[in-house]
Structure 1
Amino acid sequence: MPTSTSTNPATLVRRYAAVGYTPVFDAENRWFRRLHADADHEAWLLTWLPGQGTDLHDHGGASGAFTVLRGTIAEDVVAPNGLTTVSWTEREVRPFGPHHVHRVHNAGDAPAVTLHVYAPGLTAMSQYSYANGELTLVRTDRAGVDW
């Protein structure tokens, strides 16, 4: 695992991506594995078959970044004018701040693999619904309790 000389998630995600990992795909659920966790950050490897994705969520105040190792990922971001969708392809790095709310999904026809880093490590993640321009908190999951 890369050692942390910086808690900049975009820098760390590039370091982790250079290591190389063996992904696992699950036809029923999106697969994920925590690669590293310490006091200043954590890293996760995720796989996405076509149609798999997350709910709309935040990262409990942590900043982060992800990179696409294989395939293409779509990200729906809550913006002042509604939901905006952006596609991310291999080697692109997507940094985000502590108040970022999004959902990530594989909208393509091929499997995808992503690597995510959060700084500091995740302590909570809130899930949201979005309708008629309104973001509504659905629930908050806590590290060590809900995952």
Structure 2
Amino acid sequence: MSAPASPSVPTPAPVSAHLSASPGGSGPTEAELLDFVRRVAADAGAVASLPLDPEGRTWVPLEGPGGSEAWLIGWPPGTGTGWHDHADSIGAFTTAAGTLKELSLAARLPTDGWKTLELTEGIDRSRELATGQGRAFCRHHVHEVLNESATEHAVSVHAYYPPLPRIRRYSRTGDLLRLEQVERPEDWQ
């Protein structure tokens, strides 16, 4: 992520959900996270309160359901995340304003112990998520999220459970995916 919203700029009041944890008390499910991000994305006041920066992404933390980590994120035109995964966390995100594009891999990758993988044909997926559209994803889901608009900001809501222990960043050249960096919470908070 880029720089967080400036502390001098008011941030939205914490948004919380009253969802029950999945069976066994193991936290919210993918479906519950998706429900949460959709409800927050539909809250015009929360979305409008996010400070937008023309140069870089901005974000503010939200109070997610059942101990999850949640964020409201602003995307200037032409910005993106690069290829990454959220390691052992499940997650969901919904576009609250504008349109985002998600590129993903429809294959389960080994979780650890590799630096470079050769990807097979046919595993690339692409979807556009306009305002109000979102998706949930499982652990180790490798994707890239982009605001391809040349003129319009996008805003999205994201939730992860358990709270992100790490993010793995990748580079991609053709069919080669290379692990470049592992980030921990102190790197982005």
| TM-score, with length taken from structure 2 | 0.70
User: Could you tell me which residue of structure 1 aligns to residue 80 of structure 2?
Assistant: 53
Match for residue 102 of structure 2 among 71, 75, 92: 75
CA distance in 1, matches of 2:142, 2:42: 27
Would you say the 8 A contact 1:23–1:47 is kept in 2? yes
Deviations along 1:84-127, whole A, 9 cap, x unmatched? 32110011121111121111111123111100011111111000
Moved more, 41-50 or 28-37: 28-37
Match for residue 160 of structure 2 among 118, 131, 134: 118
* Alignment map for 1:26-41 (pairs within 5 Å): 26-36=53-63, 40-41=67-68
User: Could you tell me which residue of structure 1 aligns to residue 111 of structure 2?
Assistant: none
CA distance in 2, matches of 1:16, 1:99: 25
Match for residue 44 of structure 1 among 42, 67, 71: 71
1:132 correspondence with 2:174: yes
- Unaligned 5+ residue runs, structure 2? 1-14, 21-27, 108-121
Q: Which of the pair is proportionally richer in helix?
A: 2
Q: Which of the pair is proportionally richer in strand?
A: 1
- The percent of aligned pairs where both chains have the same amino acid is 36
| TM-score, with length taken from structure 1 | 0.88
Q: Count residues in correspondence.
A: 146
Would you say the 8 A contact 1:4–1:12 is kept in 2? no
Query: Could you say what secondary structure the match of 2:37 adopts?
Result: helix
Would you say the 8 A contact 1:38–1:121 is kept in 2? no
Which of structures 1 and 2 has the bigger CA Rg? 2
